[in-house]
Structure 1
Amino acid sequence: MGTEGKQKQTMEASRKLDLPEEVPGFPKFGHIPFEGLHNTRDLGGLPAADGRRIKPALLLRSGALHKATEQDLARLLADYHLEGVVDFRTELERDKEPDPRELMEGVVFYDLPALAGETMGITHGAGLAKDMKALEAVSAQPHEMVKKMYPQILLGDAGRVAYRSLLNVLLESDGGAVLWHCTEGKDRAGLGAVVVERALGVPEPDVRADYLATNLFARTRAEGILDALAAKLPALRGLDADIDSFFYAFADYYDAAMDAVGDAFGTFDAYLAEALDFGPGKQTALRAKYLA
């Protein structure tokens, strides 16, 4: 391996996880201790516009629901009166690991892929075999590969449609909870949370903290994926930093997305208004519905 390759490998191996600052009045970042869902959180309690806070048990962010136990699903229906699920995954991901719709009677599902097609490192939808090949191909700079996808999620046509639709689903809900998710609840669902929180007037530092909070709940899942990959291909042992790049939230991912929005629209409010057709009037209506 050349000097440059060794430097890149050392840089990846030494990368530390970014952990969030606590948000007063938002204990454990709204984490819901389900049996099968490791990264499901309630935005209720986050400080928002005009000194108000997001109402509890209405806005939920999560990873995919296929690992939910029957008790988890029963809690979502009984405790949160779940009425809608927005799925940001691709069709391939949905087919491979479908949400348990047959066990969620009365819930409306919205299939809104936030990325067009398969994108390794974001969707994880192709299965372990293809993931391993992709890992080998990009192992020199997996972190940079994922970071480059973040602007595409917010600014691409698919992402604009997905997040515009999410906001409209929230506006039109009948009073029950709406849950949005991707695969891990980090990238597409994480940026969906950013969109919702900014529309509700959550202060930017708290939006950022909520994004990074995934790192408090993702360790077991990431280690499990690493073990599965290494079992199938021993050469991948020791690629902890590569796996970290795919399964954890990093501040520079978030910054890349926000910088891209700033370059394209000037402000996030302008992005909401121009890219998502969600200007001040709709924001006021959303805040009246979800803030107290």
Structure 2
Amino acid sequence: MSASTERWLTFEGLDNVRDIGGLPLRDGRTTRPGMLLRSASLHYCTPADVGHLVDVVGLKLVLDLRTPREIDEDGPTAVARAGVETVAFNFLPEQGRTLPETDDDTDPLVRNYLGYLSDRGENVVAAVRLLAEPDAGPALVHCAAGKDRTGVFVALVLDAIGVERDAVVADYALSAEQVEALFRRWTTASGEPMPEDISRHLPRADAMATVLARLDADFGTNGTGGAAGWLKANGLDEESLKRLGTRLTAD
């Protein structure tokens, strides 16, 4: 079994699901299993999926990164109806997008990802702060596909707690293996045909590496990754950052 295969968690109606546990930190430790899952939308969760998340995983918190419109279209999730605290943190502007100041030849995917941080930095920080609460319990973060908004958020968290950079980027890029399955579920539900080419929807490791390198250049200090610096510069207190590391890393 490959390392990639071992990362995936299988559910009936929940796609692109994996546990961030077991990733290597720069100090030789690893991330703690069972504390943070990442996934696509919970819209298609079955009763069995909900039961597993609540009774086996012990899920206590869901961070929903979708827009208000996406949430309104789908309605409350079965996980929320089961009593799991669900908090929405929109990463997109309500009307249009003001992209950060970048060179004209900046990769559009990089521009979008940096846009999450410039457009809704307060929501990004608030989501991290909630995740860092000592009584938060096992949590799950998702958007629609679990690859872009979720990908940026998880990469920011992993880098901030000291996960090795190659592992941060690899975790982000792993979602590419699930994009076809996501489109098959969506098109089956809607009755629309599968797109002929889904390549433009695939996460690219180089894009995330560029985003993190940009944060390093702007916010990194003394060999510390730029994600922690960005979070502190945008209002996350040092105590919350320490708690985040304690919650998500194994002894």
Same fold, TM-score > 0.5, yes or no: yes
Partner of 1:86: helix, strand, or coil? strand
1:249 and 2:203 aligned: yes
1:291 and 2:240 aligned: no
Tell me by how many angstroms 1:273 deviates.
1.7
Question: Which has the larger helix fraction?
Answer: 1
Tell me by how many angstroms 1:263 deviates.
5.0
CA contact (8 A) 2:159 2:165 kept: yes
CA contact (8 A) 1:89 1:114 kept: yes
1:170 and 2:131 aligned: yes
Change (3 A) 1:203 1:95: same
1:55 and 2:32 aligned: yes
Once residues 199 and 149 of structure 1 are traced to their aligned partners in structure 2, the CA distance between those partners, rounded to angstroms, is: 20
1:149 and 2:138 aligned: no
Find 2:46's aligned residue among 69, 79, 82: 69
Where does residue 100 of structure 1 map in the other structure?
77
Change (3 A) 1:250 1:184: same
Partner of 2:129: helix, strand, or coil? helix
Partner of 1:212: helix, strand, or coil? helix
Tell me by how many angstroms 1:164 deviates.
1.0
Structure 2: state its 5+ residue gaps: 98-106, 221-225
Tell me by how many angstroms 1:81 deviates.
0.9
Show CA shifts across 1:130-176 (max 9, x none).
xxxxxxxxxxxxxx5444311101232x1x12221222112215263
Partner of 2:111: helix, strand, or coil? helix
CA contact (8 A) 2:64 2:86 kept: yes
Change (3 A) 1:245 1:147: farther
Partner of 2:169: helix, strand, or coil? helix
Partner of 2:141: helix, strand, or coil? strand
Bigger radius of gyration, 1 or 2?
1
What's the TM-score, normalizing by structure 2?
Answer: 0.81
The one-letter amino acid of 2:204's match is F
Change (3 A) 1:105 1:225: closer
What's the TM-score, normalizing by structure 1?
Answer: 0.70
Show CA shifts across 1:195-232 (max 9, x none).
11112210000000000010122222235667899957
Change (3 A) 1:245 1:272: same
CA contact (8 A) 1:73 1:103 kept: no
Count of matched residue pairs: 236
Structure 1: state its 5+ residue gaps: 1-21, 121-143
Show CA shifts across 1:92-142 (max 9, x none).
00011234247643311111101113779xxxxxxxxxxxxxxxxxxxxxx
Find 2:160's aligned residue among 165, 188, 199: 199
Where does residue 186 of structure 1 map in the other structure?
147
Show CA shifts across 1:74-100 (max 9, x none).
100011111111111110000112342
Change (3 A) 1:95 1:43: same
Show CA shifts across 1:239-289 (max 9, x none).
x0xx3213x21123313422443454353332122125254x433322222
Once residues 109 and 27 of structure 2 are traced to their aligned partners in structure 1, the CA distance between those partners, rounded to angstroms, is: 35
Where does residue 228 of structure 2 map in the other structure?
269
Once residues 96 and 162 of structure 1 are traced to their aligned partners in structure 2, the CA distance between those partners, rounded to angstroms, is: 21
Once residues 170 and 60 of structure 1 are traced to their aligned partners in structure 2, the CA distance between those partners, rounded to angstroms, is: 12
